[in-house]
């Protein structure tokens, strides 16, 4: 999925991927929550704008958000769309 943002004539293109697709040690910024379990994920700290790091990919996978490590099935994270960032 590609997100295109424009303002005052400038344009930025961001690739959004499901959180479950981040590689080990890679961080991303949560951009969208879709799929029906948004409220639960937000309660756990997965909110728009938060930085999340993939600790251990797979199923189950372990991510770090707000200083806490959380464990999810990979399928639970398909609705968390992130903009990949720097390697931790």
The H or E element spanning position 38 is helix 38-43
CATH of the domain at 45: 2.30.30.90
In a domain, 61, yes or no: yes
Domain that holds residue 59: 18-87
pLDDT for res 9:
56
In a domain, 60, yes or no: yes
Total count of domains within the chain: 1
pLDDT for res 14:
64
pLDDT for res 66:
92
Count H helices, E strands: the chain? 1, 8
Which bin fits 74, alpha (ψ -120 to 50), beta or left (φ > 0)? alpha
Mean pLDDT of 5-16: 58
């Amino acid at each position: 999925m590609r997100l295109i943002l424009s303002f005052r004539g400038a344009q930025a293109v961001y690739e959004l991927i499901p959180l479950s697709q981040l590689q080990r040690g890679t961080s991303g910024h949560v951009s969208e929550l879709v799929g029906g379990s948004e409220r639960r994920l937000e309660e756990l700290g997965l909110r728009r704008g938060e930085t999340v790091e993939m600790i251990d990919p797979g199923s189950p996978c372990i991510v770090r958000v707000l200083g806490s490590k959380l464990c999810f099935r990979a399928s639970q994270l398909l609705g968390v769309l992130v903009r990949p960032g720097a390697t931790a």
